[in-house]
């Protein structure tokens, strides 16, 4: 089961956070890798396609975005890209970014398996795609910008949450709220676009 957003752009159903799949002529690009325990949903999506992602772009290293990254890598062998600040967490070299001691504790308990060999996302290139730094939620939060056939899609991770059809910064879970507010302004200046957040539904800006 999945939801189609546009031709060749999907969100895998029932994952948290949202896992997006972009089919391109150069292969499949996956955005984020859900919470630990949700690999079955990812595998069910790729089954009928007969292939998995050739690249995974990580918007940031929170546990609900890299939970099954290790399984995705082991199964499909994609190249993984993330911001250098987030690579430290993905590789298990530093704890999850959070202002909350409770969240850090939860993060340590359900810790995603580390993944090695992650490349700097600023070196990622695919037709129509580029990376925008949108820090604040975490130091290395990024937005994947995808332009195709006159439409612009923004995969923002948790740089902006959807709530009631609007975009907002999650003040409680962002490491640097002021930086996050500036990043949201940057995202809103990308209008017209379809924003595809880590949590919630697409938002037209």
Binding site for Zn ion (CB under 5 A): 17, 62, 64, 158, 198
* CB nearer to Zn ion: pick between 70 and 156: 156
* CB nearer to Zn ion: pick between 64 and 68: 64
* CB nearer to Zn ion: pick between 118 and 126: 118
In the bound complex, what is the minimum distance in angstroms from residue 144's beta carbon to Zn ion?
A: 15
In the bound complex, what is the minimum distance in angstroms from residue 8's beta carbon to Zn ion?
A: 24
In the bound complex, what is the minimum distance in angstroms from residue 51's beta carbon to Zn ion?
A: 27
In the bound complex, what is the minimum distance in angstroms from residue 44's beta carbon to Zn ion?
A: 21
Q: Please spell the DSSP secondary structure of the chain, one letter per residue.
A: -EEEEETTEEEETT-SS-EEEEEETTEEEEE---STT-HHHHHHHHGGGT---SEEE-S---HHHHTTHHHHHHHH--EEEE-HHHHHHHTTSSPPP-S-HHHHHHHHHTPPPP---PEEGGG--BTTEEEEE--SSSTT-EEEEEEETTEEEEEEETSSEEETTEEE--TTT-S-HHHHHHHHHHHHTT-S-EEEESSS--EE-
């Amino acid at each position: 089961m999945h939801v189609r957003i546009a031709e060749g752009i999907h969100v895998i159903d029932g994952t948290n956070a949202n896992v997006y799949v972009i089919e391109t002529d150069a292969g499949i690009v996956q955005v984020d890798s859900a919470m630990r325990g949700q690999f079955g949903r990812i595998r069910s999506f790729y089954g009928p396609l007969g292939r998995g992602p050739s690249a995974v772009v990580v918007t940031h290293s929170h546990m609900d975005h890299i939970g099954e990254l290790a399984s995705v890598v082991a199964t499909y062998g994609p190249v993984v890209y993330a911001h250098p600040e987030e690579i430290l967490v993905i590789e298990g070299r530093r704890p999850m970014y959070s202002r909350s001691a409770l969240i850090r504790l939860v993060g340590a308990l359900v810790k995603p398996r580390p993944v090695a060999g992650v490349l700097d996302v600023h070196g990622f290139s695919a037709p129509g795609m580029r990376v925008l730094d949108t820090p604040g939620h975490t130091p290395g939060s990024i937005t994947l910008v995808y332009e195709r056939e006159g439409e612009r899609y923004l995969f923002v991770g948790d740089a902006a949450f959807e709530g009631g059809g609007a975009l907002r910064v999650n003040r409680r879970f962002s490491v640097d709220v002021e930086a996050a507010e500036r990043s949201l302004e940057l995202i809103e200046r990308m209008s017209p676009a379809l924003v595809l957040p880590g949590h919630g539904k697409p938002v037209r800006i």
